[in-house]
Chains A and B, each alone.
Chain A
Amino acid sequence: EAGVAQSPRYKIIEKRQSVAFWCNPISGHATLYWYQQILGQGPKLLIQFQNNGVVDDSQLPKDRFSAERLKGVDSTLKIQPAKLEDSAVYLCASSLTGLSNNEQYFGPGTRLTVT
């Protein structure tokens, strides 16, 4: 079974530039999550999709971050414009359903460095 795919794996940009990350979840998984992990901390949820609808985006900085999952499969997370404090690993995860005891499967992440 293929895992969660993310690209790119690494990205370096200057502040005020824009960047986009892509995620392809495990086939058949209805729920997709984007997490932000700052160095030395645990991951923090940014946004959760159930199929193509947003379930929770309470921690997403909406003035600069946006995410979409138009066809209920793959998803993109965009930052525009980037700030230095956005330097982090961005993790995508998926689960079969949105039920809380469903295991979440994580991708390898995209490491973003903002200079």
Chain B
Amino acid sequence: DAKTTQPNSMESNEEEPVHLPCNHSTISGTDYIHWYRQLPSQGPEYVIHGLTSNVNNRMASLAIAEDRKSSTLILHRATLRDAAVYYCILRDPNPYNTDKLIFGTGTRLQVFP
């Protein structure tokens, strides 16, 4: 399974944009890039995913490098509720492969008022 590398921790002030980087230099041509986050004392929750093009949803934006070896999750205006551990995960869409999520240690985001 292709691996991802993320910083252990990041900090932000409330209402400022946050850019969470992820390196995945061994990504295959068919791997999707998924982001999940885990709020304190909760299970992980889906944030966003993409393949090649940048993606936007109500929670965040995902910017994918042209060579797909890195990506950035963008929170446009951080709130205190965004304080969580963010996981960048590669997923192979091959239906004959297990679709388990392989979590790393993620990036712990702290948001200050």
A contact set with B: CB distance below 8 Å: 4, 31, 33, 35, 40-45, 48, 55-56, 91, 93, 95, 98-109
Contact = CB atoms under 8 A, between A and B. Distances in A.
B43 interface: yes
Contacts of B101: 35, 43, 45, 104
Given A42-B85, A93-B44, A98-B95, 16 more contacts: A33-B100, A40-B105, A42-B87, A42-B103, A42-B104, A43-B103, A48-B99, A56-B98, A93-B43, A99-B95, A100-B97, A105-B46, A106-B45, A107-B43, A108-B43, A109-B43
22 contacts: A40-B105, A41-B105, A42-B87, A42-B103, A42-B105, A43-B44, A44-B103, A45-B100, A55-B98, A91-B43, A93-B44, A95-B99, A100-B32, A100-B92, A100-B95, A101-B93, A103-B46, A104-B44, A107-B43, A108-B41, A108-B42, A109-B42
A40 B101 CA distance: 17
